[in-house]
Amino acid sequence: MENGLSEDLSDSTQLPESDNDQRVYFVPYRWWKDAQDATTSDESDGNRGVLFMATPPSSYAGPMKLINSIFNPELAFNLRREENSLQNGESGEVGISGRDFALVSGEMWLQALKWHSDTKVAAKCGKTFSAAEDDMSDVYPLQLRLSVLRETNSLGVKVIKKDNVTELFRRACKIFSLDSEMLRIWDFSGQTALFFINDKTKFPKDCQQQSDQELLLELQIYGLSDSIKCREGKKADMAVQNYNGIHSSGTSTAMNGNAGNTSTSIFRSNSSAFFGRSGEAGSLGLTGLQNLGNTCFMNSAIQCLAHTPKLVDYFLGDYGREVNHKNPLGMNGEIALAFGDLLRRLWAPGATPVAPRTFKSKLARFAPQFSGFNQHDSQELLAFLLDGLHEDLNRVKSKPYVEAKDEESRPDEEVADEYWQNHVARNDSVIVDVCQGQYKSTLVCPDCRKVSVTFDPFMYLSLPLPSTNTRTMTLTVVSADGSIPPSSYTISVPKFGKCEDLIQALSIACSLGIDETLLVAEVYNNRIIRFLEEPADYLSLIRDNDRLVAYRLKKDFDNSPLVVFMHQHMEEHYFHGKLTSSWKAFGIPLVGNVHNFVTGSDIHNLYLQLVAPFRIPPDGTLDNDLDSTTIEEVEGMVDNTGSSPDGDAKPCSAKGVELPSDSELQFYLTDEKGMVKDENIVMNEPVPKIGLHKRFNVLVCWPEKLTKQYDTSLLSSLPEIFKSGFFAKRPQESVSLYNCLEAFLKEEPLGPEDMWYCPSCKQHRQASKKLDLWRLPEILVIHLKRFSYTHSAKNKLETYVDFPVDDLDLSTHLSHKNGQLSHRYMLYAISNHYGSMGGGHYTAFIHYGGDQWYDFDDSHVSPISQEKIKTSAAYVLFYRRVLK
**Active site (annotated) includes residue 296:** yes
Strand-pair partners of 218 = 143
**Contact partners, residue 847, CB within 8 Å, separation at least 6:** 246, 307, 826, 827, 828, 829, 853
In whole angstroms, what is the distance from residue 178 CA to residue 60 CA? Answer: 13
**Catalytic member of 783, 823, 833, 841:** 841
- Evaluated on CA atoms 303, 309, 311, 315, the torsion sign reads positive
Q: Where are the alpha helices (DSSP H) in 15-96?
A: 29-39
Type of residue at 772: D
- Note whether 681 and 600 are within 8 A (CB): yes
Q: Name the CA dihedral angle for 645, 649, 652, 654, rounded to a multiple of 10 degrees.
A: -40
Parallel, antiparallel, or unpaired: how do β-strands 461-464 and 451-458 relate?
A: unpaired
Residue 510 a catalytic site member: no
CA 263, CA 862: separation in Å to the nearest integer?
32
Q: Residue 740 and residue 466: Cα distance in Å, rounded?
A: 6
- Helices then strands (H, E): number in the chain? 21, 37
Task: Mark 657-679 as b/e (b = at least 16 C-beta within 10 Å).
Answer: eebbebeebebbbbeeebeebee
Query: CB count, 10 Å around CB of 684?
Result: 14
Task: Please state the separation of Cα 788 from the chain's center in Å.
Answer: 21
Q: Is the dihedral of CA 12, 15, 18, 24 positive or negative?
A: positive
The single residue of 296, 445, 499, 510 carrying the catalytic annotation is 296
Contact 867, 852 (CB under 8 A): no
CA atoms of 653 and 609, how far apart (whole Å): 8
Q: At what angle do helices 296-306 and 334-346 cross, to 10 degrees?
A: 80
**CA 388/CA 362 separation, integer angstroms:** 11
Which bin fits 817, alpha (ψ -120 to 50), beta or left (φ > 0)? beta
Look at residue 701 and give its three-state secondary structure: strand
What is the bridge-based pairing of β-strands 841-847 and 853-857?
antiparallel
**Residue 754: what residue type?**
D
> Which of 315, 314, 318, 310 lies closest to 247 in space, CA to CA?
310
CB 756 within 8 A of CB 768: no
The secondary element (H helix, E strand) that includes residue 159 is strand 154-160
In SS3 terms, 548-572 reads as EEEEEEEHHHHHCCEEEEEEEEEEE
Give the residue from 745, 764, 748 showing the smallest Cα distance to 756. Answer: 764
Pairing status of strand 548-554 against strand 679-680? unpaired
User: Cα(66)–Cα(71) distance, rounded to whole angstroms?
Assistant: 9
HSE toward the beta carbon, residue 745, CA cutoff 13 A: 16
Distance CA 453, CA 456 (A): 10
Burial of 28 (0-12, 13-18, 19+ CB in 10 A): buried
The region that residue 595 occupies, defined by phi over 0 for left and psi between -120 and 50 for alpha, beta otherwise, is beta
How do 787-789 and 437-444 pair as beta strands?
A: unpaired
Active site residues per annotation? 296, 841
